[in-house]
Structures are given as structure tokens and as C-alpha cells.
Amino acid sequence: MASAVDFGRLGLGFAAAVAAAIFLWFGTGLQPLWPLTWLAPLPVLLFANRASWLGAAVVAGAAWSLGNLNTWHYLHGVVALPLPVLLSMIASAALVFVMAVLLYRTLLRRGHFWMAVMAVPATGVSFEYLSSSLSVHGTYGNLAYSQLAFLPFLQLASITGPWGMTFLLLMFPAALAAGLHLRFVAPKQALRIVGASLGITLLVVLLGAVRLGLPAPGQPVKVGLIASDPPTSPDVADEGMAATKLFQTYADQAAKLAADGAQVIVLPEKLAVAVDPDTRDMDRMFQSLADTTHARIVVGLIHVSPPLKYNAARVYTPGAPVSTYNKHHMLPPFESNLEPGTALTLLPEPSGTWGVAICKDMDFTQLGREYGQAGAGLMLVPAWDFNLDRISHGHMAVMRGVESGFSIARAAKGGYLTVSDNRGRILAETTSDSAPFATLLANVPATHDSTVYMLLGDWFAWLTLGVLAFALVQVVRSQFAPSVELGSGSNIRRLSDT
């Protein structure tokens, strides 16, 4: 009999790990199916309700490790993330989930039902926040990005940043798991926990839907985007004749967009290498075009000003000097030899203030907040993606607009030409390989919208750290108290009305 019970428990654990891994695999990654992310922790938490601590830990670690293998080829084979770094990322994410599950299990068994539910999201969000503060990759990998297509829920980012979104994503399955476990032992408590979780989630979605329905003030700006992938356009044109020819081809495409009414035109990141003093020829070309067409033009390039190299965006304004933005956040190892910038580039316009950033810069909430606090209503973003990540990374920038109240015009090689508003709606989009020189022309609101997150920053993340600390204190205080083995007849009588 004991052997049969052990095999039965082993089978349940295997099924829980596989189910959770499948939900995580397809709910996150390069093309996430957002509803599945809400369910990913649930099978493991249900198993942990009645499993030993070791069984719960093994199942949780296996599920999260397997699920996070969904980006293995992209991160290791395409982005060239070193194997030890990738393995440490997967292992650390799995370890955090194990900690969350064990903390949930312990608190549930000690009778701290509400804190058990809160412990799961508090652990996950605390890890994401601390990781984003220390990592060169910023917020990449946050669970919140799986929800970019769930627009009503995405509006929560304007209040809490990505942290509140991850919190609800993990709180919801934890509440369901606790409610199902308590349904016979403490039905009123189970109803309160599940009802509160559903109520909060529905309220957030309802308020998000209302926010989406509010009109966008101000006059729209017509933006034009251009990108071209190899073989039409080289990865990075060498300095000299090849660079000049490529710049001229892009300038010809920009002239066509300007003739169609584009007020600002954005070209991709790192089109070519320009070494001082040869940058003057490129400047003359695009400045003349800006003066003639009365359109701003943003050009991404590698700017070499010996002995330093920059990933730069040159901004050409009709009748004004050339301005430059240097990328702040580099992608290792590809950009480890480049000097990071430190300053914002702000462009005053009748429609409001515009800002400039480059690709990976938009993975960082703090830079987005700085632009929002400076009043930016439209961000102009040259970029370069890896084709596979045209959705997962290309759309990460969309959340910065929701958080800090600006629209985004992003032109990426190897990805999408994307125009989004400050509610996260994709207003227009096309792939960079849709034509030898893909172009996009779209109207976008450019009026800044102040948000709670822009003003208060990571307040919710700090609140979550406090919740986690309190949960740990509860565990320590109750470590010598007897476990609440839910399910016995005496406990049914004792807890049925709690």
C-alpha cells in the first residue's frame, strides 16, 4: 500500500511539473500566449498543498527550469549569451520559484492563509525588481511582458510599473490553489481569498478598459519609419563609400516619406560606421534633406570620435544644428567596446516634447521615467532586433510608453517598424523585411500623459519587498508552532468558520 501511495504521489508530481512547464513555455517566451501565464504556477501550488517540502521543491524547480528553456536557442544561439550565464539565469529563476512555493506551503500549513497567498507574488516581484536593478539586461524576462497583448491589464503599468502586473499574475493562481485546498476545511475563508483575488483582478481590468476608452488629447504627429535587412542593407556598413551609398539610399526613402507628409522620420540603429571628421559629409546630406523637406530625421550609426566609439543617433532638425543621443545601455558582448551615454536628448515641438532613445535603452524603466518626467510625449527609437525576438523584445518598449505617458516610434532592423501610443496600442506595424526598404507612415498622438508610476517610481516594488519581509517574519515566529494539517475531522470543526 505504501508503495502504491508513493507511486501515486510521484505521478501527481510529474503531472504537475509537466503541466506548469507547458503553461510557462507557451505563456512566456518569444511569442507568448498571455492567458497561459496566469495558470503556470497553479499545478505546482496545488501539488504543494499536500506534498512534502522536498517533493514540492523538486516539482517547482523542475517545472520552472523546463518552462524557461523556451528561449534557449534565442539566448544562447542568437544573442550569444554564454552558457554559464544562461544556466545561472534559469537556475536562479527556478530557485526563486522554489522559494515562493515553499514559503506558500509553510504559511498555509501554519494557518497564515492570506500571507501564504501574498508570499508567492511577493517573492517573484522582489526577485524581478532586485534583478532589474543589478542586471545589464534591465527588465528583460519579467513575467509582465507576457501580457502586452492584454491591453486592459497592461494599463496597470501606468500605476505600478511592471511590478504590479507580475504581482497579480502570481497572486491569482496562489489564491486559487489556497481556495481549492481550503474549500472543505474552511469554506468561508476559501471564498474570501478567491473572491478577493478575482475582485481585485476584475477591478484592475475594468479600470484599464476605462482608461483605454479615454480620448487622446492634442494634435497627432505623422511619423515615418524606414528599415532594410540584408542583403539589401548590410548589417553595419563600413566607413567610406559603402556607408555613403547606404546613407544616400536611406535618404532617398526618407525624402519619399517626407513628400507624403511625414513630420519626423526614424531610421534604424547602427546603419553604418562614421569616423570623425567624415561625419560632416553625412551631416550635410541629412541636414540638407531636413531643411528641404521640413521634417526631422533621426539616423542611427556607430560614431567614432577617436579614441571613443558610440552607438549614436544623429538628429537633424530643419534650420537647427545637429544634435546627438548616445545609447545608455549596451548589449554585451556585441557592444562592450562602445562608450555609454549619460544624457537625455529632448526635442521641443509645437505638439510637445519629443525624446530619443536606442533599442535596449527601452528595456529599463528608469530611463523611461526620466523622459516622462521631462515631459516627453513621443519617443523616437532607432533599433536592431534579432528577427526571432521581433515580438518579445520589439514590443517591450511599448510598456515604457504606458508607464511614463508617451507614444513610441520604433524603427528596427531585423524586427518591426512599430508605432504605439501611451496606452500600449499598436497603431501601425510592419516587418523590416516586408520590402527591400520597408517603410511605415502613421499618425500618432504626441502629447505627454502624466502617470502615477512616472511620478512615484518603484513604490509598488518596495511595498512588495515589505510584504516579503513580513511573510518571512511570520515563518520565523511560527516555526515552533504545530503545523495545521488541514483535512482531519478536528481541524474541519476548528477552522470551518475562520
pLDDT tens-digit map of 123-137: 999 999 999 999 999
By mean pLDDT, which of 89-103, 241-255, 371-385, 411-425 is the weakest? Answer: 241-255
Query: SS3 of 137, please?
Result: coil
Say what the pLDDT of residue 483 is.
Answer: 55
Say what the pLDDT of residue 65 is.
Answer: 97
Which whole-number Å values give the CA distances from 62 to 93, 104, 197, 234, 294, in the listed order? 11, 17, 27, 42, 58
Check pLDDT > 90 for residue 265.
yes
Domains by residue range for the chain, with CATH: 2-214+457-495 (no CATH), 220-446 (3.60.110.10)
Query: SS3 of 311, please?
Result: strand
Say what the pLDDT of residue 239 is.
Answer: 63
Say what the pLDDT of residue 242 is.
Answer: 82
What cell numbers appear for 288 in the block? 540638407
Check pLDDT > 60 for residue 486.
no
Q: How confident is the model at residue 243 (pLDDT cuts 50, 70, 90)?
A: confident
Check pLDDT > 50 for residue 491.
no
Check pLDDT > 50 for residue 403.
yes
Which whole-number Å values give the CA distances from 401 to 51, 155, 419, in the listed order? 43, 10, 11
Instruction: State how far the Cα of 63 lies from the Cα of 18, in Å rounded to an integer.
Output: 6
Highest mean pLDDT among 21-25, 227-231, 491-495: 21-25
Nearest to 446 by CA among 320, 370, 347: 347
Q: Pairing state of beta strands 376-384 and 352-356?
A: parallel
Q: Which letter, b or e, does each residue of 46-70 get, where b requires 16 or more Cβ atoms within 10 Å of its Cβ?
A: bbbbbbeeebbbebbbbbbbbbbeb
Identity of the residue numbered 48: A
Nearest to 436 by CA among 189, 272, 166, 227: 227
Q: Which residue's C-alpha cell is 534583478? A: 131
Instruction: State how far the Cα of 316 lies from the Cα of 296, in Å rounded to an integer.
Output: 6
> Bridge partners of 353?
348, 376
Say what the pLDDT of residue 1 is.
Answer: 45
Nearest to 137 by CA among 270, 384, 331, 311: 331
Say what the pLDDT of residue 256 is.
Answer: 97
Say what the pLDDT of residue 485 is.
Answer: 54
**pLDDT, tens digit, 9 for 90 and up, residues 427-484:** 999 999 999 999 999 999 999 999 999 999 999 999 999 999 999 999 998 876 665 5
Say what the pLDDT of residue 114 is.
Answer: 96
% of the chain exceeding 90 in pLDDT = 85
The number of helices, as runs of H, and strands, as runs of E, in the chain is 18, 13
Mean pLDDT of 344-356: 95
- List % helix, strand, coil for the chain (3-state, nearest 5): 50, 15, 30
What cell numbers appear for 100 in the block? 515562493
Mean pLDDT of 190-202: 97
Terminal Cα distance for the chain, rounded: 35
DSSP class per residue in 370-404: HHHHTTEEEEEEEEE--STTTTTTTTHHHHHHHHH
Mean pLDDT of 190-194: 97
Check pLDDT > 80 for residue 210.
yes
Query: SS3 of 221, please?
Result: strand
Query: Is the link from the previous residue into 215 a cis peptide, with omega within 30 of 0?
Result: no
Write down the mean pLDDT value for the chain: 93
Instruction: State how far the Cα of 279 lies from the Cα of 197, in Å rounded to an integer.
Output: 58
Instruction: State how far the Cα of 387 lies from the Cα of 235, in Å rounded to an integer.
Output: 13
Exposed, middle or buried: residue 291 (CB in 10 Å: 0-12, 13-18, 19+)?
middle
Instruction: State how far the Cα of 299 lies from the Cα of 285, in Å rounded to an integer.
Output: 12
Look up the pTM and report it: 0.93
Identity of the residue numbered 394: G
Q: Residue 337: CB partners within 8 Å, gap ≥ 6?
A: 309
By mean pLDDT, which of 17-21, 77-81, 415-419, 442-446 is the weakest? Answer: 77-81
For 364, half-sphere exposure in the C-beta direction (CA atoms, 13 angstrom radius) is 20
Q: How confident is the model at residue 152 (pLDDT cuts 50, 70, 90)?
A: very high
Mean pLDDT of 135-141: 93
Mean pLDDT of 396-421: 98
**pLDDT, tens digit, 9 for 90 and up, residues 34-81:** 999 999 999 999 999 999 999 999 999 999 999 999 999 999 999 888
